Amino acid sequence: MYGGGYIGPDEPKLQDDQDDPAKLAIFEARIEAGEKIEPNDWMPAGYRKQLIRMIEQHAHSEIIGALPEGTWITRAPSLKRKLALLAKVQDEVGHGQLLYAAAETLGKSREAMINDLINGKSKYSNVFNYPAETWADIAVIGFLVDAAAIVNQISNSKGSYGPYCRALERICYEEAFHLKQGHDAVVALATGTPSQREMVQAALNRWWPPLMMFFGPPDKMSSHTEKLMKWKVKMASNEHMKQEFLDTYVPKVFELGLTLPDPNLKKNNETGKWEYTEPDWDEFMRVINGDGPCNKERLAVRRWAEENGRWVREALIKKDEKHAIPLA
Ligand code: BYC
C-alpha cells in the first residue's frame, strides 16, 4: 500500500524516455486532473528525484525526531506520561518505516537512504537538532512540533504521488493523538505550580525560533516550491503553511496565559495575515547543513544503531526472495 517492496542495494536503471516531452505532457495533464501517480507509471526524472529527496528527508526526520523525545521516556514525570510518550516515540519510528517504504517505490534502496543520512549527505528537519533540556521541552514538541507537522502533512497528503499520500493519511491520524498528548502536557504545566509555568514558558521560548523555521525558508528563498507545486507534490507554499499554523495554534498558546518570544507577532486584521520577526535564516542554513547544537550527537546515535543492528538485518534478509518490483 505504501511501498514495502525490498528493492535491494542497486540504484534503479532509469528508463531512456525519462524526459520525453509527449509523455511529460500526458503526465502533467493527469496531475492537473487530480489523478494519483503510482510507482509503475511513467514519470519525469525530475519528479522522481524531487519525491525521493522530500520523502527521504521526511523519513529521516521521523527516526531522528524520535531521539530527543526518546531520551525522556525514562524520565517522564508519571506512569501515564511515560506510557503515552513510549507509544508516541514508537509511532514516530513507524512513520519512518512507512515513509522509507514509500520512497523505495521510487527506486532508492533503504540502505542507500540510511547511508546518506549517517554520512551527512541527506537532510532532516531542523527542529531535531536542538536539545530537549526539560520535560517541558517534550510537552512543547508534542504540542507544537506535532501541530506544525500535521499542518504540513495534511497538505502534502492531498498531493499527486499515491504511496506518499497514503502513508501521510495514516500518519496524520496518529499525529492527531500526539498533538493531544502534547497539548495535555502543556496545559498541565501551564496550570500547575509557578515553577512548572516558568519551565513551560522557558521551553516555548527555546522552541519558537526553530519552529518558525520548520516550514522552510520564505517563499522567495525556497528553491523547490515552484516545481513541487506545479507537480502537486507540495499543495501549499512554505509561508502559506506557516500562516495556517499561526492561525490555529498561536491563540491556543495565548489562551493558557503563555507568551511567545516575538514582540512583532500579531495578526494584521486588514491583510488577515500574521506578522512576525523572520527567524535567523543563517542559523537555519548552518543547522540543516550539519552544524546545529545536536547534529553530531543525533547522527552518532543513528550510526551506532546501524552498525550494531547489522547482524540482525543480515540474519533476516533472504537475498533470493527480494522483490525486484516494489509492492505499491
Ligand atoms: N529542515 O526549497 P525549500 C515530525 C531545506 S517529522 C531541514 O523550501 P521544499 C516529527 C530543503 O530540504 C516531520 N531542511 O524546500 C517526528 C531544501 O534543501 P535541499 C518532518 C529544510 O522541499 C518525530 C532547502 O531547505 N516533515 O514532525 O520545497 C517526532 C530549501 O527549502 C527545512 C517533513 O519532512 C527544514 N525544516 O519545502 C515529532 C515534511 N525546510 O533539499 C515530530 C516533508 C527546508 O535542496 N517536507 N529545508 O538541500 C516538506 O513538506 C518540504 O520539504 C518542506 C520544505 C516544506 C519542509
pLDDT tens figures, 121-139: 999 999 999 999 999 999 9
Would the pLDDT of 243 be above 60? yes
Q: Which three cell numbers stand for residue 1?
A: 500500500
Would the pLDDT of 9 be above 50? no
Distance 101 CA to ligand 1 centre (A): 18
Would the pLDDT of 15 be above 70? no
Helix 162-190 and helix 79-104: axis angle, to 10°?
160
Architecture of domain 21-212+222-321: Up-down Bundle (1.20)
| pLDDT at site 323 | 56
Query: Could you tell me what percent of the chain has a pLDDT over 90?
Result: 89
Domain boundaries in the chain? 21-212+222-321
Distance 150 CA to ligand 1 centre (A): 13
DSSP result, 282-321? HHHHHHHTT-SSSHHHHHHHHHHHHHHTHHHHHHH--GGG
Helix 194-211 and helix 162-190: axis angle, to 10°?
150
Would the pLDDT of 8 be above 50? no
Helix ranges, the chain (H): 21-32, 45-70, 79-104, 110-118, 135-140, 146-156, 162-190, 194-211, 225-230, 238-254, 281-288, 295-308, 310-316
Helix ranges, 105-156 (H): 110-118, 135-140, 146-156
| pLDDT at site 3 | 53
| pLDDT at site 1 | 52
Which residue has better confidence, 2 or 122?
A: 122
Condensed to tens digits (0 to 9), the pLDDT of residues 268-301 reads: 999 999 999 999 999 999 999 999 999 999 999 9
The structure's pTM equals: 0.94
For residues 302 and 1, give the distance between their C-alpha atoms in angstroms, rounded to a whole number.
Answer: 27
For ligand 1, atom 19, the nearest C-alpha belongs to 123
Condensed to tens digits (0 to 9), the pLDDT of residues 81-118 reads: 999 999 999 999 999 999 999 999 999 999 999 999 99
Distance 261 CA to ligand 1 centre (A): 23
- Residues touching ligand 1 (Cβ under 6 Å) are 53-54, 57-58, 61-62, 65-66, 92, 123, 125-126, 145-146, 149, 152, 156, 213-217, 222-225, 228, 234, 238, 288
Q: Which of 85, 71, 7, 65 is nearest to 39 (CA)?
A: 7
- Phi and psi at residue 275, to the nearest 5°: -105, 145
Q: Which of 284, 307, 258 is nearest to 127 (CA)?
A: 284
| pLDDT at site 13 | 53
Q: What is the average pLDDT across 136-145? A: 98
Ligand 1: which of 53, 55, 57 to mutate, most ligand atoms within 8 Å of CB?
Answer: 57
| pLDDT at site 14 | 57
Query: Could you tell me what percent of the chain has a pLDDT over 70?
Result: 92
For ligand 1, atom 23, the nearest C-alpha belongs to 65
Distance 105 CA to ligand 1 centre (A): 20
Ligand 1: which of 224, 243, 281, 289 to mutate, most ligand atoms within 8 Å of CB?
Answer: 224
